[in-house]
Amino acid sequence: MKLNRVVLIALSLILGIGAMTGCVNKAKLNETLNHVPATVNVIAEQEQVIDQSEVNTILRGSINALPFMLELTQGLPYDITAVGKEAAIEAVNFTEAQLALFDGTLDEAVGLSEIVAYAGVVLIVNPKSGLENITVEEVRGFFTGETQDIQGQNLTLVLPSKALPSRMLFEELFPLKGDINGIQKSLITDAAVTVDTDEAVIQEVANNPNAIGVINVGQINTQVKGLKLEGIEANQSTIVDGTYTATKPIVLMAQASNKEVFHIFIELTKSEKGKTAIKKIGFVPVN
Amino acid sequence: MFKSKKLFAIVLVVLLSISNLVGVNAAEQIKLVIDNTTIKSSVAPVVVKGTTLIPLRVATEALGAQVSWNQANQQATIKTSAYTVIFKIGSTQYTVNGAKKTLSTAPQIISGNTMVPLRALSEAIGATVNYNDKTNTASINYFTTMTGKIKITGSTTLQPIAQAAADKLMLMNKDLSVSVAGGGSGAGIKDTAAGTNNLGMSSRELTADETATVRAITVANDGIAVIVNPNNSVKNLTKDQVSKIFLGEIKNWKEVGGKDAPILVQTRETGSGTRATLEEMILSKKSVVATATPFTSSALIKQAVAKEANAIGYDSVGYVDSTVKVVSIDNVVPTAETVKSGSYVMGRSLFILTKGTPTGVSAIFADYLRSLDCQKNIVIKEGYISIQ
| CA A49 distance to own-chain centroid | 34
Q: Tens of pLDDT along A143-166?
A: 999 998 888 888 999 999 988 889
**Can you tell me the distance from the alpha carbon of B22 to that of B286, in angstroms, rounded to the nearest whole number?**
67
Total residue count of chain A as it appears in this document? 287
- Which residues 6+ apart lie within 8 Å of B349 measured at CB? A181, A183, B205, B218, B220, B221, B222, B387
Q: Tens of pLDDT along B86-138?
A: 999 999 999 999 999 999 999 999 988 999 999 999 999 999 998 888 998 99
Q: Tens of pLDDT along A119-136?
A: 999 999 999 999 999 999
Q: Which residues of A touch B335 (CB under 8 A)?
A: 83-84, 87
**B331 lies within 8 A of chain A by CB:** yes
Find, among A79, A74, A18, the residue nearest to A43 by Cα: A18
For B195, what's the count of Cα atoms within 13 Å in the CB-facing half-sphere? 3
For B92, what's the count of Cα atoms within 13 Å in the CB-facing half-sphere? 5
Q: Which residues of B touch A83 (CB under 8 A)?
A: 332-333, 335, 337-338
Taking one residue from A and the other from B, the number of pairs with CB-CB distance under 8 angstroms is: 67
**B196 lies within 8 A of chain A by CB:** no
For A43, what's the count of Cα atoms within 13 Å in the CB-facing half-sphere? 17
- Which residues 6+ apart lie within 8 Å of A258 measured at CB? A98, A99, A112
Q: Are B204 and B326 in contact (CB under 8 A)?
A: no
Find, among A271, A263, A272, the residue nearest to A26 by Cα: A263
Q: Which residues of A touch B372 (CB under 8 A)?
A: none
Q: Which residues of A touch B341 (CB under 8 A)?
A: 63, 84, 168, 172, 184
pLDDT at position B309, please? 97
Is there a contact between B221 and A85 if contact means CB atoms under 8 Å apart?
A: no
DSSP string, A44-112: HHHHHHH-TTPPPEEEEE-GGGHHHHHHHTTTS-EEEEE--HHHHHHHHHTTS-SEEEEES-GGG--SE
First to last CA, chain A: 13
Q: Which residues of A touch B343 (CB under 8 A)?
A: 63, 82, 84, 168
Sign for the pseudo-dihedral over CA of B243, B246, B247, B249: positive
Is there a contact between B332 and A181 if contact means CB atoms under 8 Å apart?
A: no
Q: Which residues does residue A38 pair with via DSSP β-bridges, in sequence order? A: none
ipTM for the predicted complex: 0.79
**Can you tell me the distance from the alpha carbon of B386 to that of A88, in angstroms, rounded to the nearest whole number?**
19
Find, among A275, A266, A272, the residue nearest to A13 by Cα: A266
Q: Which of B61, B235, B331, B369 to mutate to test the interface with A (most CBs of A within 10 A)?
A: B331
CA distance A4 to chain B (A): 36
Q: Tens of pLDDT along A69-119?
A: 999 999 899 999 999 999 999 999 999 999 999 999 999 999 999 999 999
Per-position b or e across B228-242, b if 16+ CB within 10 A of its CB: bbeebebbbbeeebb
**Can you tell me the distance from the alpha carbon of B82 to that of B65, in angstroms, rounded to the nearest whole number?**
10
Is there a contact between A184 and B340 if contact means CB atoms under 8 Å apart?
A: yes
pLDDT at position B34, please? 93
